[in-house]
Structure 1
């Protein structure tokens, strides 16, 4: 697995201050993707044990609330094994930190409940998929759709994308949406 970028002290991709990992590789190629360079599986650098350790060290500060993983597409089959191993390390070492993951796949596709949408022809589900989901607090799911772009939405680019409370969803057996602070949910500052 390669990664295209790492951002430290990021505040755009989840609640609070975060370390953000941008994984390389995506077959979806959404029109107007904000990170088209990361669609290439060879973009960036190899995700080595040294890079993993650097990320873990960046999380070891009280002001860092958690880790966010974006892409490219973290849930491409090729990325899932290395990502599952890393997220399990994060979860074990920092159980108090929250983990967000952004995927163009929907929750239902990642759970194998519905067929995948084009351009994919096979399920993204691997043996690593449930391992990854079990390490997440929030999954932002669904592809970016330019026609549904809404700059007033927090933590996502288009209205079709959902912020899913993963632990609650796994427990309920159905999608439970993550609840933001009410002042942000209302789109007003009253």
Structure 2
């Protein structure tokens, strides 16, 4: 998997102060995308051991609420193994941190992926420029859902995250 950046102390991509991993690769190519530079899965740089350690270093900081995987699309099929490996490690070894994923895929397309058990919140659906709303909490367009993954898996239906 390739990535473009790791940012920290981010307040726009999930609740609290977050560390964000901006992955490479997206097959949705939404009109009005804020990060079209991340569409090419071969763009950016390889996400190797040093990048993984940088990500974990930031997540061990007490003031960081968790990680957000964005991009590109973290759930692009060729990104899934790495993303779910990271999510599992974080949930097992960095307690109290939340895992958020922004994806263009719908919940119904990804809910059965084994790695979803390590995810707290999924913002699903392609960005639709005609539905863009800067006041819509945690998502770019009103067709996107901010899903409480664990409650949704337990109940077998979409449960939206409460603020």
CA offsets 1:51-104 (integer angstroms, 9 cap, x no match): 111111101111111100001011111011111111111111112111110000
The equivalent of 2:67 in structure 1 is: 67
The equivalent of 1:121 in structure 2 is: none
- What displacement does 1:111 show? 3.1
Would you say the 8 A contact 2:25–2:42 is kept in 1? yes
**CA-atom RMSD in angstroms:** 1.0
The equivalent of 2:85 in structure 1 is: 85
Q: Residues 91-110 of structure 1 correspond to what in structure 2 (within 5 A)? A: 91-110=91-110
Out of 157, 166, 171, the position equivalent to 2:154 is 171
Structure 1: gaps (5+ residues): 113-128, 181-190
CA offsets 1:103-153 (integer angstroms, 9 cap, x no match): 0001001136xxxxxxxxxxxxxxxx321x111111000000011111111
Partner SS state of residue 168, structure 1? helix
Partner SS state of residue 92, structure 1? helix
- What displacement does 1:164 show? 0.3
Q: Residues 23-34 of structure 1 correspond to what in structure 2 (within 5 A)? A: 23-34=23-34
Q: Give aligned pairs, total.
A: 163
The equivalent of 2:126 in structure 1 is: 143
Would you say the 8 A contact 2:111–2:153 is kept in 1? no
Partner SS state of residue 12, structure 1? coil
The equivalent of 2:142 in structure 1 is: 159
Question: Which runs of structure 1 show a deviation greater than 3 angstroms over 4 or more consecutive aligned residues?
Answer: none
Separation in structure 2 between the aligned mates of residue 153 and residue 40 of structure 1, nearest angstrom? 28
